[in-house]
Structure 1
């Protein structure tokens, strides 16, 4: 029995994800696919477009066997910590043979070489990096040039694309955690990660999740998406449209204003991804009447990207503190495997994971207290709060009362 692990957001699930899932099984020869998926908040530092249980249904209906939730402290973190949280979870399950991810370059050798240099930081690399930084280059540009200088057979733009960067972080995590999972990459096809336009092909086509979200924000009908997503996903979108989604960062604007009104620059600096300088910049801005997006654009400077600011503000909103994250790192990153859903025919995989005893498996919230350490309970408490806040926003926006984390059962397909 072979099993391949995927790290995902499925925000929402589309034809590119379906291709990745099927190709991952084909090229690894895996019998099963286990997914680690971000919950109700994602790595860009914004709420998920659609709730985690609906996205779990999408994944299971399109070929996934098990779906586990990536804790919110990692799902909203930097690429490095996002990867460490997800890889640590897959590794501790004890049944995963491969980690398969998409990349722009599609060359696992290049990605491995780059990951090794960035993890080990040999003296030559550090020296060249400092020279490029002193010449006035930004850190990403200096890092790319230093990589190329140290290893001339690596393309200079390997660190210029988002999925390459994540793939490199996954490989670094495997090395750092001394994991036996074998990394495999699939070259992305068709739409660019940041593409804002839907594919114009009449038959089944691949558009970015960014383009799909943009069009659902602007259009009043779902019919134009029919060839962009698998049929089971389209049916779920139809069923839930304007009942539980779409959700955007602007829906959290008033909540963010309320939270920031209670903070000082000193208190803000305690949250993950909020430095003292960034905290002072946020508190210097008059937030009255600003939407979430308007505030991030006002805060933005050359020093901080919009994504970094989004993550910091989401951490403030969700009460995610740096000291807690430091505790999780010291304890080995992800502390439990929270099961969101599974295929009935693959339920034996859950029993295998439990039998391995490498990580507590949570299928019922009532069992958490007897399964988890205090550190694990703190991490889980953050997930619960994030989900309850997300559900409250859905209720305020659409009048739909979703079940809370204590009453919502595992999705079974």
Structure 2
């Protein structure tokens, strides 16, 4: 029994994701596909356009055999936290033979070479990174520039055209791919990385076009046109039916739907004199700028744009907002990581003909396979329960906003049943 792992957001699931799943099974020879998927809040510091349960069902109806939720402290983290948390989840299941991710370059060997440099941090690279950061560059830009300088001096990489190398270290899926491999290296994991070259639209393409287009373009079309029909043909038919059923009932959800709730939290914390710099990704400087500019707040997206600077990226700011909203504190995340990232793997859904996977996880896995959160306190430590309660709160907040937006029923996260298809 061979199993290939995927790290995903599926926001929403589209034809490119279907292609990826099908090709990954071919090139790895896998019998099963296990997906570690972000819940209701994502790595860019925004809510998912639709809930995690519906996105898990989309995956299961299109080739996934098991869907596990990535805890929210990792799903909303930096590329490094996101990747290391997701890799830990796949590794601790005890069933994952390979990892397959999409990339712009399609070259796992090249990405592995870069990952080893970032994992080992040779002195020449560290010196270059310090200089770039001192010049006032944001960390992602500084790391990319320092890496380019270092690679240019290495004979192995000198054979690669400079523009191609720049694309490799700066394109978003390549960056995540490098982080995945770096996390595998640091864990000394036996999981073998594979990559598939992205086809169709680019990651940031905003206009919907072609059968395989970006998730960004699909979300933009739904935001601008507010008609579900505009995405038909750009997602698998099973996905379209799920979204059509949910449209204007619990979907679509956007960051500005959380504007009032975020402002309330910021006003409350400011009035109490709370130190929001304790939250993950919130530096002292950013915390001061948030409080000093709070009277200019009009919406989630407007405030993020207002605070964006050369030193702090838009994504870093939106991640900070989500961490403040959900009270995700850096000291707690460091505690989770120190205890090998997570005690449990919360199952969102599985295919009934893949039940052999569940038995193998129970035999080999080092994480508790969690199907009923209400009974979790029987098997988890206090630290594990702290992580789970954080996940449950995040889902309840998301579900509350969706219920208010569409005047629909609120569903308590503890009542949700695992999806079986």
With the shorter chain as reference, the TM-score category is: over 0.9
Aligned counterparts of 1:391 and 1:404: Cα–Cα separation in 2: 8
Could you tell me which of 324, 327, 334 is aligned with 2:332? Answer: 324
Could you tell me which of 348, 365, 370 is aligned with 1:362? Answer: 370
Whose helix proportion is higher, 1 or 2? 2
**CA drift at 1:162:** 0.3
Aligned counterparts of 1:130 and 1:79: Cα–Cα separation in 2: 19
Structure 1 equivalent of residue 207 of structure 2: 197
Could you tell me which of 365, 387, 392 is aligned with 2:395? Answer: 387
Could you tell me which of 219, 235, 241 is aligned with 1:235? Answer: 241
Could you tell me which of 185, 191, 194 is aligned with 2:195? Answer: 185
Moved more, 68-77 or 370-379: 370-379
Q: Which runs of 4+ in 1 moved over 6 A?
A: 134-137
Could you tell me which of 308, 314, 325 is aligned with 2:316? Answer: 308
2:152 aligned with 1:148 = yes
Could you tell me which of 230, 236, 251 is aligned with 1:224? Answer: 230
Tell me the alpha carbon deviations over residues 91-141 of structure 1, each in whole angstroms, 9 at most, x when there is no partner: 010011001000000011110000000111112323444566677875132
Tell me the alpha carbon deviations over residues 218-272 of structure 1, each in whole angstroms, 9 at most, x when there is no partner: 1232222111000100100110000011001101111011100122476111100
Q: May I ask how many residue pairs the two structures share in their alignment?
A: 409
Structure 1 equivalent of residue 32 of structure 2: 32
Structure 2 equivalent of residue 372 of structure 1: 380
| SS of residue matched to 2:203 | coil
Give yes or no for contact 1:257–1:288 (8 Å, CA) kept in 2: no
Q: 1:16 to 1:287 in 2, by over 3 A?
A: farther
Tell me the alpha carbon deviations over residues 311-336 of structure 1, each in whole angstroms, 9 at most, x when there is no partner: 00100000101110010110111221
**CA drift at 1:371:** 1.4
Structure 1 equivalent of residue 265 of structure 2: 259
Aligned counterparts of 1:108 and 1:369: Cα–Cα separation in 2: 41
Aligned counterparts of 2:266 and 2:387: Cα–Cα separation in 1: 23
Give yes or no for contact 1:391–1:401 (8 Å, CA) kept in 2: no
Aligned counterparts of 2:30 and 2:289: Cα–Cα separation in 1: 49
Structure 1 equivalent of residue 12 of structure 2: 12
Give yes or no for contact 2:125–2:146 (8 Å, CA) kept in 1: no
| SS of residue matched to 1:30 | coil
Could you tell me which of 163, 167, 181 is aligned with 2:173? Answer: 163
Give yes or no for contact 2:136–2:310 (8 Å, CA) kept in 1: no
**CA drift at 1:388:** 0.4
Give yes or no for contact 2:95–2:365 (8 Å, CA) kept in 1: no
| SS of residue matched to 1:316 | helix
Q: 1:45 to 1:226 in 2, by over 3 A?
A: same
Q: 1:36 to 1:11 in 2, by over 3 A?
A: same
| SS of residue matched to 1:376 | helix
Structure 1 gap segments, 5+ residues each: none
Aligned counterparts of 2:373 and 2:136: Cα–Cα separation in 1: 52
**CA drift at 1:289:** 5.2
2:112 aligned with 1:106 = no
| SS of residue matched to 1:146 | helix
Structure 2 gap segments, 5+ residues each: none
Q: How well do the aligned residues superpose, as a CA RMSD in angstroms?
A: 1.6
Tell me the alpha carbon deviations over residues 334-392 of structure 1, each in whole angstroms, 9 at most, x when there is no partner: 22100000001111211110122411010011221111111111000100000000111
| SS of residue matched to 2:250 | coil
Aligned counterparts of 1:408 and 1:32: Cα–Cα separation in 2: 25
Matches within 5 A, 1:68-83: 68-83=68-83
Tell me the alpha carbon deviations over residues 158-193 of structure 1, each in whole angstroms, 9 at most, x when there is no partner: 111000000000000001111100000000011100
Structure 2 equivalent of residue 346 of structure 1: 354
Structure 1 equivalent of residue 415 of structure 2: 407
Aligned counterparts of 1:135 and 1:367: Cα–Cα separation in 2: 52
Q: 1:134 to 1:283 in 2, by over 3 A?
A: closer
Q: TM-score w.r.t. structure 1 length?
A: 0.96
Structure 2 equivalent of residue 2 of structure 1: 2
Q: 1:289 to 1:170 in 2, by over 3 A?
A: closer
Q: TM-score w.r.t. structure 2 length?
A: 0.94
Aligned counterparts of 1:322 and 1:136: Cα–Cα separation in 2: 24
Q: 1:136 to 1:218 in 2, by over 3 A?
A: closer
**CA drift at 1:19:** 0.4
Q: 1:211 to 1:5 in 2, by over 3 A?
A: same
